Amino acid sequence: MLPLTAPPAASLTTPDLRVTAIGLSAYALVVSLTVNGLGLRRAWPWITVSAVVLTSICFIAFQFFAVDLQLIPLLCSGCVSLLLIQVNRLWSLDRHLTRTLFNSSAGNTQSRIDSNARLMSGVKLLNTVLPLSEALVFRCDDSNAFDAVARFKGPAQSSADPRRNSIWREGIKLCQQAVATGKLVSKTIPGQNSSTIAVPLLHESETAGVLLIRLASEFSMDDAPLLEAVGSQFARNLERERFANNPARTQSLSFFSQTGSKRKLDALNVLQAVTVEQRCEANTLTRIDDGVAIAYLDGTLALVNPTLLSFAGLTSEQASQMDLFELLNTFRTDVFDEPEIAVRRVLQTGVEYEGELNFESKNQILELRISLLRERQANNANQPIGIALYLKDLTTTKEYEKLKSDMISLMSHELRTPLTSINGFAELLTADETIPAQAREFVSIIANESQRMSRMINTFLSVTQLQRKDKQEVLKIPLRLDEVVRETIASMQPIAKKKRIRLLERPAHRIPPVAADKSLITQAVKNLVNNAIKYSPERTTVTVSTALEAEAVRVCVEDRGFGIPAESRERVWDKFYRVVREGQEKDEESTGLGLSFVREVIEQHGGEVDLDSEEGRGSKFSFTLPRL
């Protein structure tokens, strides 16, 4: 077999220039489409195979057909196309990264306090700890030149001090030394009991500036950690200010620009500074007395403070291996037995879950709240970002409340015995006609006041019983409020007639029932009607009406009395509050507990109270209860 030899150069055929250009363009296009479609890593095998096949075809054409297919230019066009496509892909990713980085950093440079104000605040903080004579904060530029951005002066100094300029020249040298070494540098002036200290302002090993201070005493190295910590905060402030005050001219060419790369580094430093300050904020939660845990939306625990760990009986190592549901399972009780359902409702509705966890075995009562954490976005939408757990120990509070309630009940019951005796003997003396008229008048006053005291105690006990946190649930049955109103009006007619007041009912048709305790609701309606009668002039009308409003039933008691001043309308529902009208004294017959009782009863039934009043034209007291 004869060996293969290259054909003579004279016999070689070279494709037309147009054909060569089309071939180069076609191969470059194939390479670019392959890289764009598959990515560089997955496209490598295909590009290698295409290069081998192309080389084989060119070799065969060269050896057997004496045709030079321009192998080297073809391979070069493919390499150039590959390089350009990859550069374009990297450039596009860099633009996206730059835009995201700049936008995130710009959002975090909008501080509530301006940078110079924060620097001055920090210097003033140092002045409360150290005897500062003078302090300067310098910013360092790329050439390590110093630019003063904040200055603080202590007690007035003599401007004629001949060494003042030399002292500050020495201070500048100390600043240069601090920047060069990255460490605090101090110098004590012999015989003058003063010191000059230069503190490098370091953030992520980069020097943002220098803090130069003069002390009116000798410097102690015990204060070095404080100065370094404050210096780190100053450095973060300077980084934010530098980034905010030097906007990028263009982001599209930052991939090829040294200035653009430096600005991206500044933006990253700003984000790192924000991260440090956010860690400071998060550490605050570890110092509070209530239990707090924060979880991401995937259930991973971001933070569990020591108080919550003690409530759960866990160590930090055990908690680090748990997710949100495993942590909640440690607080299961008879009431809170399905944490997954509680979390799901919070995520679905955004309404926080609240409940009390009673651990009788540990004699402990905890208040649990599960809340959805949100972050306001640029379009003012509140985007969920996490879940928070709050646990508060109510054991001591519950014990105090029960003790207070028991003490009030005991004292009130103990007061009833002597009042009953006083009232009984007063009535006997009143009936005795042998007693002089003046003495009988005094005895009548005693009887009336003792009866008023008894009514006050009864109402006070009712309000106290309603407010007790350990009270039993009221007995709720289907109740028609129009029937309650009718019965109340019938029982109150004698009192109204005695005062020459017309008591009317204005019923509505087809009022649905509500779930309520009949005795409590009846007493509430009686209190409202009694108040209306008591504070209405003679020959006026008191109207009691019922109405259906959407998903609630409203009861309204309207009078044509004196009305209630605007400043008193919010307080009439408070215990012991009595309205003072101009030119009149407080009504001594009133206990100030009737309306408070009404509000407690209605709110316990899931309803609301309301008041509409105008001085001189009367008042309209009303309440609503959810319909069945």
Question: Using one digit for the tens of pLDDT, what is the confidence trace for 589-601?
Answer: 566 778 888 888 8
Half-sphere exposure in the Cβ direction for 505 (13 Å, CA): 18
- Residue whose token pair is 């207070």: 404
Q: What average pLDDT does this structure show over 444-460?
A: 79
Residue-level pLDDT at 582:
56
- The CATH architecture annotation of domain 288-389 reads 2-Layer Sandwich (3.30)
CA 492 remoteness from chain centre: 51
% of the chain exceeding 90 in pLDDT: 5
Residue-level pLDDT at 390:
92
Phi then psi for 181, rounded to 5 degrees?
A: -95, -20
Residue-level pLDDT at 8:
56
Whole-prediction pTM value? 0.51
* Structure confidence by residue, pLDDT tens digits, 559-584: 888 888 877 777 888 777 777 665 45
- For residue 171, CA distances in Å to 8, 196, 211, 212, 624 come to 83, 7, 10, 7, 76
Q: What average pLDDT does this structure show over 178-205?
A: 82
Is residue 622's pLDDT more than 60? yes
Half-sphere exposure in the Cβ direction for 142 (13 Å, CA): 5
More confident residue, 129 or 363: 363
Contact in structure between 154 and 194 (CB atoms under 8 Å): no
Separation of alpha carbons 86 and 76, rounded Å: 15
Contact in structure between 46 and 54 (CB atoms under 8 Å): no
Is residue 423's pLDDT more than 70? yes
Q: What average pLDDT does this structure show over 414-438?
A: 80
In one-letter notation, the amino acid at residue 320 is S
Half-sphere exposure in the Cβ direction for 95 (13 Å, CA): 9
Token digits of residue 238: 């300077």
Residue-level pLDDT at 456:
75
Q: At what angle do helices 40-64 and 17-38 cross, to 10 degrees?
A: 150
Residue-level pLDDT at 369:
92
User: Same CATH fold, 288-389 and 115-154+163-245?
Assistant: yes
Contact in structure between 40 and 32 (CB atoms under 8 Å): no
Separation of alpha carbons 176 and 582, rounded Å: 77
Residue-level pLDDT at 171:
82
Is residue 107's pLDDT more than 70? no
Lowest mean pLDDT among 88-97, 224-233, 516-525: 88-97
Lowest mean pLDDT among 289-293, 416-420, 547-551: 416-420
Residue-level pLDDT at 538:
86
**30 CB burial (10 A radius; 0-12, 13-18, 19+):** middle
More confident residue, 221 or 88: 221
- Residue whose token pair is 């009712």: 462
Average pLDDT score, the chain: 78
Task: Name the band, by pLDDT with cuts 50, 70 and 90, for residue 470.
Answer: very low
CA 420 remoteness from chain centre: 55
Q: What average pLDDT does this structure show over 30-42?
A: 77
In one-letter notation, the amino acid at residue 316 is S
More confident residue, 492 or 95: 492
Residue-level pLDDT at 113:
44
Task: Name the band, by pLDDT with cuts 50, 70 and 90, for residue 443.
Answer: confident
Residue-level pLDDT at 54:
79
Is residue 556's pLDDT more than 90? yes
Token digits of residue 34: 């392959």
Q: What average pLDDT does this structure show over 479-484?
A: 89
Token digits of residue 326: 């495993």
Task: List, in order, residues 6 or more apart from 481 with CB less than 8 Å away.
Answer: 511, 514, 521, 546, 553, 555, 625
Contact in structure between 269 and 157 (CB atoms under 8 Å): no
User: CA angle at residue 430 from 429 to 435, to 5 degrees?
Assistant: 70
Q: What average pLDDT does this structure show over 539-557?
A: 89
Separation of alpha carbons 152 and 212, rounded Å: 10
Q: Where are the domains of the chain?
A: 9-108, 115-154+163-245, 288-389, 398-467, 477-626
* Structure confidence by residue, pLDDT tens digits, 251-275: 555 555 666 666 666 667 666 666 6
Residue-level pLDDT at 555:
92
More confident residue, 249 or 624: 624
- The CATH architecture annotation of domain 477-626 reads 2-Layer Sandwich (3.30)
More confident residue, 458 or 212: 212
- Residue whose token pair is 């908690």: 319
Residue-level pLDDT at 473:
54
The CATH number corresponding to 115-154+163-245 among 3.40.50.970, 3.20.20.140, 3.30.450.40, 3.40.50.11900 equals 3.30.450.40
Token digits of residue 83: 């390089």
